[in-house]
Structure 1
Amino acid sequence: MKIEIKRGDAIVAYEVMHEDLTLLQLLTHIKTEQDSTLAFSSGCRSSVCGSCAMRVNGKEVLACSYKPQDGDLIEPLRNAPVLRDLVVDMDKAYAFNKVARAWGIPTPDNLHVSVKDAELNEVQSDCILCGSCYSACPVYAVNGEFIGPFALTRVWKYATDVRQSDISAAIAAVQTSGIYDCTLCNECVPVCPQGIAPKQDIVMLRNKSGVMGYMDPNFASSFGGGLTF
């Protein structure tokens, strides 16, 4: 079986004899047996930490769960600086959590949370910050400051948390380069290994913003810079 790996500006081909391995196992074999200079990231090897996210044939996957096929092209994630081979710098991507104020406000320890309440954001709580949705997002081609799908999903997680008494600061934070900059293209949804739908969360944040008095700036500008009543 032959696989190709994008290393800098070059595409390097490797012949491997092993079958029925995960991509991460295959990369480890190449590094230990064929090319010790190959660089990639890994951690838990159980699809929990998200550190082995990369692209295969143009789609984001977790290397520890993907089974490679003959002719696969392996590339680093997009929209993040490549440090070396398949390793990218996610610092700026993770910093968007701070921009979006994607954290909870301390609440009383005795506040009761029912099972139904917990289910409201159960799926969003499963985000492992692998960056797959961030890589798949086409908005970064035109706006490098876009807050991005996983940060916005985290905002919606807290917006639906009954323990949060005041989400106004977070909703205000996602108005600029945030929810209205998303094109709702759906590219982020199929690549999430946890089954999260950031597009849906962003739509819900738009609805919540409308209830709280915010308006899509693109809609407002179509009326000459604003609406008056």
Structure 2
Amino acid sequence: MKISIQREKSIESFEVSTGITLLAALYEIKEHKDASLTFSAGCRASVCGTCAVRVNGREELSCAYKVKEGDLVEPLQYHPILRDLKVNKHKAKETLVKSTAWLHEMQEAALTHSDEKLTETQTDCILCDSCYSACPVYAVNPDFLGPFALTRAYRYSSDKREGDAKNIINNIQTNGVWDCTLCGECTAVCPKGIDPKMDITMLRGTSLQFGHSDPSFATQSFGTPDFGAGGGFGF
């Protein structure tokens, strides 16, 4: 079986064993064919998120993905490439700082089973950056907070133990909840079944409750007549 790997300046093809995971194939190449091949790996059990890459244009955990004939393997998008498939994830993690997605003001609160279920899935995030890589907004706005940080913002702003949810909501207005196109690409690639698209939709509702609004709303046209400066209809 042959797969192709995007390296620093070219795409190289390698023969690998059939019926194995992509991570196993990468180790096979490194051990027996090209010791210089560079990639990231960790737990090998879909827990740490370290091994995320793009396969045929879609984000995958290489420890879980089974290789197929003709696969094209590339590094994650919107990350500085260190070498081959290894990327620097520091910039993505910085979005957490900008969104202040953590518990700000702890208050005592009795949590019900329903309360725990509300953000249980979001807590399963393994920091793989797949949603960050899949987000098309980064192609036009590199300052976008992104689904990774916004899902975390939803997780903490929805926690009944957070005594200052408004602070989190205030900090995700610029390059945040209103910049998302709700395309759902982030939801499609999440290996843990998190739905950032829905989380962002919920954050928009909470933003409205705290007095915020979509900044592009005022510039939208709803087909009303343009009376112009002279008071007549404009044609």
Instruction: Place the TM-score, normalised by the shorter chain, in its bin.
Output: over 0.9
| Larger-Rg structure | 2
The Cα of 1:112 is off from its aligned counterpart by 2.7
Q: What amino acid is the match of 1:93?
A: A
Aligned equivalent of 2:74 = 75
Is the counterpart of residue 7 in structure 1 residue 4 in structure 2?
no
2:216 is paired with a residue whose SS is helix
Q: Deviations over 1:2-59 (max 9, x none)?
A: 000000130000012x222111011001101110000000001110000000000000
Q: Deviations over 1:52-81 (max 9, x none)?
A: 000000000000000000100000000111
The Cα of 1:100 is off from its aligned counterpart by 0.2
**Identical residues among aligned pairs (%):** 52
Structure 2, unaligned runs of 5 or more: 222-235
Aligned equivalent of 1:20 = 19
2:64 is paired with a residue whose SS is coil
Aligned equivalent of 1:227 = none
Q: Distance in 2 between matches of 1:8 and 1:170?
A: 39
Is the counterpart of residue 101 in structure 1 residue 94 in structure 2?
no
1:190 is paired with a residue whose SS is helix
Is the Cα contact below 8 Å between 2:178 and 2:204 reproduced in 1? Answer: yes
The Cα of 1:106 is off from its aligned counterpart by 4.9
Q: What amino acid is the match of 1:40?
A: F
2:82 is paired with a residue whose SS is strand
RMSD across aligned positions (CA): 1.2
Q: Distance in 2 between matches of 1:106 and 1:180?
A: 25
Aligned equivalent of 1:29 = 28
Is the Cα contact below 8 Å between 2:75 and 2:81 reproduced in 1? Answer: yes
Q: Deviations over 1:137-196 (max 9, x none)?
A: 000111000001010000000111111121111101100000111111111111000000
Q: Distance in 1 between matches of 2:105 and 2:20?
A: 45
2:188 is paired with a residue whose SS is coil
Counterpart of 2:188 (choices 187, 190, 195) is 190
Q: Distance in 1 between matches of 2:183 and 2:13?
A: 33
Q: Distance in 1 between matches of 2:12 and 2:104?
A: 48
**Which structure 1 residue ranges, 4+ long, deviate > 4 Å from structure 2?**
none
